[in-house]
Chains A and B, each alone.
Chain A
C-alpha cells in the first residue's frame, strides 16, 4: 500500500475534524456565552448582576434567593413559579401544563425551566428574601418510633435562624447508592422558635422515598447537612380564643413548635391538641406533652389510638382522630384549627371542621 495514501487520509481527517472542533468551540464561546445579565427584582428594589446561561431557579439560588420547589427542577411539582415581567422568552412546552390562563396573563413562569439569557425584570414575594441556606452539623439522630426519626442539627457557629413556629425547611440529601444527584424535600420544624441556633426535624420513612430513605439509612451523627428556609405560611394567626391542633404521624412536628411558641410568648389562647395514631407504637413525645399539660392548664393533649391491643393497656381515646374531633369540638366560633398530617386525614378532618362552622379563613394547613 502506498504510504502517501495513509498520510493523506490521516492528514485530511485530522485537518477536517480539527477545523470542525475549532468552529464548534468558537460557536460555543460566542453563542453560549450570555455574559453578565442584570436581574431587576421588585421594580428596582434589588438589582443583581449574574452570569447568564443557567436556569433562573439555580441562578437565584446562587445569589442566595431561594424559590420554594419540591421536585428540584424537574418540572413535576410546579411550585417554583415566579413572575417574570421581561426577558423570559416564550412559554416552553414543559411549562404549559402548570401555568393557568390567569397566570399566563400575569407573566408567571416556572423558574426551573427558563434560562437567564439577558436582562430580566422579576417580581418575588418579600418573605422569600429571608430564606437562607445553612450548613448544619447533625448532632443527634433519634428513633422516636419504628419509622420516625428526629434529627437535631446545630447551625454553624455564629449563625442564627428566625422562623415562625409552624414553618418548614428544605432538606438536601447528598448522592447515595443509586441516587446520583442531590435532591431536596420539605420538612416542618419541630423545635422551639425561641431556639435560634438549633433545628429539629421529624422524618418518617416513606417506602421508596429518596430523601426519607437517605435519612433513615445513610445519615450518621456528625454528618454535615444542608438546609434552606424557613418557608411556608403555616404559622400562628391567633385571632381567636382557642386553638384546635390536629396531627398524625410526623405531622406532630410543626404543632410541637406552635405549642411551645404560645406558651413561651405567654399568649392566653386555650389549646387542644388531637394526635392521631393507628397503634400505640405510633405514639411518641407522650411524656413531654403530658408534662406540658400538667404545667399549663391552658393546654390539653388528646392522643387517639385507632386500634390499641389489649396488652397495651391503653387508657386514652380509642378510635380515629375524626371521632374525637366530632365528639369533643362543639363549634368553630372563636376557634382556629391548625392541621398537619397525611392528605386523607386532612380531608376527613377539614370536612368535620367545616360542618362545625370553621371556614377556609380559620383552618390552616400546609399544602405540599
Chain B
C-alpha cells in the first residue's frame, strides 16, 4: 500500500484509525492519567513527541539495520531497546536544554517507554511497509489522535466529578463505558478514509 498519500494517512490515523478508539492501544496510561484535563494534556503532548521521534528512528533502524542483516525476527526486541534508549536520552536532553518543557512532561517520559501505542505504531509501520514520509505522518497523526482521545476522556471525567454516580460504576468501569461510546461515535467517520 505504499501509494496512499501521507496526508490521508495523517487524518485517518487521527480519526478513523485512532490508536485508542479503534485499535485500543495505550489503554493503561489512557485510563490512569485521564482524571485531570491538565495532566492528560501533558501526557498527550509527551506521547506525540515520543511517537514521532521513535517511529522515525525505528524506520531508519528497520531499513538500514534490520533488513540488511536479515534479523526481522528480532525486530520486537530491537524496537523496544531503541524506544527505551531514546526516551532516556530525550529526558536528559530536555532537562538540560528545555527545563520549561521538562518541568511539564518530565514525569511522564518514563511511563511512555512502556506505552504499547508507541511500539504499536512502529509495528504497523513495518506491517504496512510505509515509506519515510508516510511513517512520519502516520506517527504524528497517531500521536495527535491519542492526545485527542485522552483529552476527551479527561474532559468528560472532570465533568463527572460533580455528578452523583451509582457507586459500583464509578472509576475505571465508567471510563471503559465512556471509551466504548466514544469509539462507537468514531466509527461514524469510517466512510471518510480507510487505511486498513
The answer to whether A and B touch in the complex, with CB atoms under 8 Å apart, is: yes
Chain A contacts for B70, CB-based, 8 A: 8
Report the separation of the CA atoms of residues A232 and B65 in the bound assembly, to the nearest whole angstrom.
64
Q: Which residues of B contact A (CB under 8 A)?
A: 65, 69-71, 73-74, 77-78, 81-82, 85, 88-89, 92-93, 95-96, 99-100, 103
**Contacting B96 at CB < 8 Å: which of A16, A90, A93, A117?**
A117
Q: Which residues of A contact B (CB under 8 A)?
A: 8-9, 12-13, 16-17, 20, 23-24, 27-28, 31-32, 34, 89-93, 115, 117
Do residues B82 and A20 form an inter-chain contact, with CB atoms below 8 A?
A: yes
A26 to chain B, nearest CB (A): 9
Do residues B69 and A92 form an inter-chain contact, with CB atoms below 8 A?
A: no
Do residues B89 and A8 form an inter-chain contact, with CB atoms below 8 A?
A: no
Report the separation of the CA atoms of residues A46 and B21 in the bound assembly, to the nearest whole angstrom.
59
A30 to chain B, nearest CB (A): 9
The 21 sampled A-B contact pairs (Cβ below 8 Å) are A8-B70, A9-B71, A9-B74, A12-B69, A13-B78, A16-B65, A16-B78, A16-B81, A20-B81, A23-B85, A24-B89, A27-B92, A28-B92, A31-B89, A31-B92, A34-B96, A89-B99, A89-B100, A92-B103, A115-B95, A117-B96
Chain B contacts for A12, CB-based, 8 A: 65, 69, 71, 74
**Contacting B93 at CB < 8 Å: which of A13, A31, A93?**
A31
Chain B contacts for A27, CB-based, 8 A: 88-89, 92-93
Report the separation of the CA atoms of residues A115 and B95 in the bound assembly, to the nearest whole angstrom.
10
Chain B contacts for A117, CB-based, 8 A: 96, 99
> From DSSP, what is the main secondary structure of chain B's interface residues?
helix
Chain B contacts for A92, CB-based, 8 A: 103
Do residues A24 and B103 form an inter-chain contact, with CB atoms below 8 A?
A: no
- Nearest B residue to A92 by beta-carbon distance? B103
With A27-B88, A32-B92 given, can you name 14 additional A-B contacts, CB distance below 8 Å? A8-B70, A9-B71, A12-B65, A12-B74, A20-B85, A23-B89, A24-B88, A24-B89, A27-B89, A31-B89, A31-B93, A90-B100, A91-B103, A92-B103
Chain A contacts for B69, CB-based, 8 A: 8, 12
Report the separation of the CA atoms of residues A23 and B74 in the bound assembly, to the nearest whole angstrom.
20
Report the separation of the CA atoms of residues A20 and B79 in the bound assembly, to the nearest whole angstrom.
12
Chain A contacts for B82, CB-based, 8 A: 20
Chain A contacts for B99, CB-based, 8 A: 89-90, 117
Report the separation of the CA atoms of residues A256 and B65 in the bound assembly, to the nearest whole angstrom.
76
Chain A contacts for B103, CB-based, 8 A: 89-93
Chain B contacts for A91, CB-based, 8 A: 103
Report the separation of the CA atoms of residues A23 and B78 in the bound assembly, to the nearest whole angstrom.
15
Do residues B81 and A8 form an inter-chain contact, with CB atoms below 8 A?
A: no
B29 to chain A, nearest CB (A): 18
